[in-house]
Amino acid sequence: MKLLLIIIIISILIFVPGIHKSQPVINHGNVLIINLTEEIDSGSSNMFHAMSKNYSAVVIYMNTPGGILENMLQMVNCINKTEQRGIPVYTYVPDDGMAASAGSYVAMASDYIYMGSGSYIGPSTPIVVGGTPLEENHTKNAMAALMESMAIAHKRNETAAYSMVINNTAYTSNEAYKIGLINGICNNFTEFLKDMVHGRYIYVNENLYDQFLSFLSNPEVSGLLILIGFFAILIDLYHGSIILSVIGITSIILGFLGAELIDASIVGIILLILGAVLMMLEFKTNHGIALLSGLLTGSLGIYFLASPYYSSNPGYSPSPYGYNILIAIIIILILGFIFIYYISRIYLSQTRRRYTGSESIVGQTGYSLNDIPKNGTGQVSIDGVAWEAINKGETEIKRNDEIVVLGRSGLKLIIKKH
């Protein structure tokens, strides 16, 4: 009976998912914990530079939907360098969390992967926005080779890892453990640290600067900032407020900084600038065609910012465009309607006489209060109000002669004999 009980207990310990007790516990020193709980981009990849310091172990607390492959490769490179120095790297995916898309590559680069219940790893197929079938296959094959090689290096199921990329497969924590894709399952992060990594925990999160970089590392945000910047400057050409120009220039600079962070396609940037030029032409044509063409071209520019053309960025996983692209299109349309309204107001103001403001007196008539020689000054009356005036006409103006206002120079009117 006792022998049977021992056999049952041993069977439970072997077949029930849990922490691998064969893995040695780190009992001393500083342990770096990186909280990767956002998209993989320039901001989140900055946190991995902390691995360059000496720690007893590194733990990546991962719950990410994926992101930019170029930044993922930077993270993998940091992990490889850390492991080469003999420092073990762990990835832990919490309950109901995900190591999805680009995140699955980061996890696979780790020495050990542990997951909570309800979590999943994959799918991992790369997305080449606007790329040709040849470019898509090239990127997919390259990423599949990377994933497979990392799985082999860490003695994991390379066939399952390869399928995550080629077939866009995702595995739950239980499935991943059973097929040998991860090292174990743990109920929560506290239990994981207790059983696996002891020491003084040093946490790293995205600081404000990293969050700012993450905000800009989005083709939709970068493209909108560039378009809005040009829009503000064009409006200020007629509005006359330096504030709009400052806002516009700042917005354009931030947009191009974001484009640099994602290594944006030059094609997308050219389309955005072309869209801005077409919108500028609307001030001259005033028939709506140039404006609509500019909005369409600018929208295409935002889309092609994430394309591989004239860019070293291998792609994204998952696609950077989802429902957010609809929001971007709505914002562009709203800007277009504002632009149409503003241009129509400008056109009307230029085709009708001004009845208010400092220039409303131009074209009005009055009479002279004294003799005014050619190029001389004197007094005139306009609607019962006395003004100092300069005679720029060809003849001398006599007292009570009718005059017409040509313009203003400060507080003086420029007049001639009517």
pLDDT for the residue 277: 87
Q: Which domain holds residue 375?
A: 365-417
Which residues contact residue 198 at a Cβ distance below 8 angstroms, ignoring those fewer than 6 apart?
25, 26, 27, 28, 31
* Pair 59, 170 in one domain: yes
Q: pLDDT tens, 18-33?
A: 444 445 555 558 999 9
Q: Confidence class of residue 11 from pLDDT cuts 50, 70 and 90? A: very low
End-of-domain residue from the set 309, 328, 351? 351
Q: What percent of the chain has pLDDT over 90?
A: 59
Average pLDDT over residues 20-48: 82
Q: Answer yes or no: is pLDDT of 276 > 50.
A: yes
Tell me, what CATH number does 44's domain have? Answer: 3.90.226.10
Domain assignment present for 358:
no
Tell me, what CATH number does 392's domain have? Answer: 2.40.50.140
Domain assignment present for 79:
yes
Contact 401, 367 (CB under 8 A): yes
Average pLDDT over residues 193-198: 89
Q: Which residue has the higher pLDDT, 240 or 62?
A: 62
* Pair 129, 198 in one domain: yes
Domain assignment present for 3:
no
Q: pLDDT tens, 93-104?
A: 999 999 999 999
Q: Which residue has the higher pLDDT, 359 or 49?
A: 49
pLDDT for the residue 238: 65
Q: Confidence class of residue 346 from pLDDT cuts 50, 70 and 90? A: low
pLDDT for the residue 33: 97
Average pLDDT over residues 188-193: 92
Q: Confidence class of residue 67 from pLDDT cuts 50, 70 and 90? A: very high
Domain assignment present for 393:
yes
Rounded Cα gap, residues 197 and 401, in angstroms: 100
* Pair 168, 37 in one domain: yes
* Pair 29, 66 in one domain: yes
Average pLDDT over residues 117-145: 93
Q: Please, where are the H alpha helices in 49-132?
A: 69-84, 102-109
Q: Answer yes or no: is pLDDT of 165 > 60.
A: yes
Cα separation values, 358 from 309, 406, 411, 417, Å? 53, 13, 10, 22
* Pair 345, 371 in one domain: no
* 151: nearest Cα among 143, 141, 162: 162
pLDDT for the residue 9: 30
* Pair 225, 201 in one domain: no
Q: Answer yes or no: is pLDDT of 215 > 80.
A: yes
* Pair 195, 331 in one domain: no
pLDDT for the residue 345: 63
Q: Which tokens in the block code for residue 334?
A: 């709203």
Count of domains forming the chain: 3
Domain assignment present for 7:
no
End-of-domain residue from the set 206, 241, 275? 206
Average pLDDT, the chain: 85
Q: Confidence class of residue 127 from pLDDT cuts 50, 70 and 90? A: very high
Q: pLDDT tens, 247-271?
A: 999 999 999 999 999 999 999 999 9
Three-class DSSP category at 312 = coil
pLDDT for the residue 22: 42
